[in-house]
Amino acid sequence: MKGISSPEQTALEIAAHAPMLQQTEKWAAVNSGSRNLAGLAVMADILAEAFAALPGAITLMPPAPVENVAPDGHLKAVPHGRHLHLCVRPQAPVQILLTGHMDTVFPADHAFQSLRWQDERTLNGPGVADMKGGLAVMLAALQAMETAPEAAQLGYEVVINSDEEVGSPSSAPLLRQAAAGKLAAFTYEPALPDGTLAGARAGSGNFAIVVSGRSAHAGRNPDDGRNALLAAADLALRLKAGSGVGLSCNPARIEGGSPNNVVPDHAILHVNFRPRTPADEERARLLLDESIAGVSREHEVTMHLHGSFGRPPKAMDAKAESLFSLVRRCGSDLGLTIGWRDTGGVCDGNNIAACGVPVVDTMGVRGGNIHSDQEYLVVDSLAERARLSTLVLLRMAQGRFSKGGMKA
């Protein structure tokens, strides 16, 4: 293959022959839904044992405190699983971050729990692509890179969190800390089936608006009531109407209400925004403030806003384009065509980019139908993507990417 040295070829062969399929099958057999704390505890221990093959110190970090709005409108603590953190050679001249997640979207009582071969190249199963296969690729690439002489030049942190699928609320501080000062980052979300990577990403904000009205008898004195459910519905319509190009809005759920003969005095509107740019995010904040103020005044109710934009928009700036170019050139040297396109989906790459660190966040396997019982992994992509990551890591260690961009 063009442009690949003999030492690099040796590391690439080691990566390609790592037991990634066996690891993926083993890890996917463990239900680790984001709210399945017992399953996440098992998964964290399994991954800690596997990643102990790398040098450095592994810690299973406790989650940061998280509160959500309960159906009664009060805040309640929400438990989360531990997060794996590994630090290797923090004094090396080149410092990067690699991230992944151990949780899936499938809870412990979900019907989708087993693996099935769709054909000899395609494995169907919970988390095989998103992202237990990606974790196997990450580990294989790091182990292969460690066999190369230039490994001493590369320091890295690994964060594998337990809550990515619910927005990373309890791991966000750890991600920010690990990203600080890094030259670049790689996240092992799955690529598309044809290998296309995600480029720019929209942001995401999740909000709960608690509406407090006044109850009254629906027959005797309805006008004395202040209908919280009606106010929540009005707010949902205004928020949706105020969205548009660059800012999508999804009013997802209204909780609350009352018996049919009572004017409801309590409701909660849950809504998601997807801003394309920081300016769109500011537009969403203004829309929220103005709509809440207007509905509160016109319906004579009280509203309390909870939530945040947990995933900032991720742009394809010059630094990101340079890092993508490095990945594309490594792919070309391996005979792979690497392209990317913008997406409305979000991941931890959004949070890392917000720290000023360029990130390629779809370095995992090729697969599809994620977040459904049709999720699948293209098995050949395990070796393919491990080789790609290994070569990228080696080129980083060789100093072929700097804060000024890619070097020849």
Beta bridge partners of 270: 208, 253
- Please say whether the beta carbons of 206 and 167 come within 8 A: yes
Q: Cα separation of 106 and 219, whole Å?
A: 45
Q: How confident is the model at residue 405, as a pLDDT?
A: 62
3-state secondary structure at position 320 = helix
How far, in Å, are 241, 254, 260, 273, 274 from residue 245 at the CA level? 12, 25, 39, 12, 11
3-state secondary structure at position 275 = strand
Q: For the residues of 123-136, what is the DSSP string, one character each? A: EE-TTIIIIIHHHH
Q: Are strands 116-119 and 67-69 parallel, antiparallel or unpaired?
A: unpaired
> From the CA atom positions of the chain, what is the Rg in Å?
23
Residue 27: partners with Cβ closer than 8 Å, 6 or more residues away = 43, 46, 47, 127, 132, 135, 136
Q: Cα separation of 138 and 227, whole Å?
A: 53
Q: How confident is the model at residue 403, as a pLDDT?
A: 74
Query: Which regions of the chain are under pLDDT 50?
Result: none
Q: How confident is the model at residue 1, as a pLDDT?
A: 63
Q: Are strands 204-212 and 266-275 parallel, antiparallel or unpaired?
A: antiparallel
Q: Which domains does the chain have, with CATH numbers?
A: 6-201+313-406 (3.40.630.10), 204-311 (3.30.70.360)
Q: In which residue are the tokens 């949780």 written?
A: 103
Q: How confident is the model at residue 134, as a pLDDT?
A: 98
Q: How confident is the model at residue 402, as a pLDDT?
A: 82
Strands (E), 120-257: 122-124, 154-161, 184-187, 197-201, 204-212, 247-256
**Rounded to an integer, what is the distance from CA 399 to the centroid of its chain?**
28
Q: Cα separation of 365 and 377, whole Å?
A: 7
Beta bridge partners of 401: 406
Q: Are strands 184-187 and 359-360 parallel, antiparallel or unpaired?
A: parallel
Tokens of 184: 């670049």
3-state secondary structure at position 39 = helix
- Please say whether the beta carbons of 13 and 142 come within 8 A: no
Q: Cα separation of 14 and 25, whole Å?
A: 20
How far, in Å, are 161, 271, 309 from residue 232 at the CA level? 34, 11, 20
Phi and psi at 251, nearest 5°, equal: -65, 115
How far, in Å, are 25, 238, 334 from residue 95 at the CA level? 31, 46, 24
Q: How confident is the model at residue 53, as a pLDDT?
A: 98
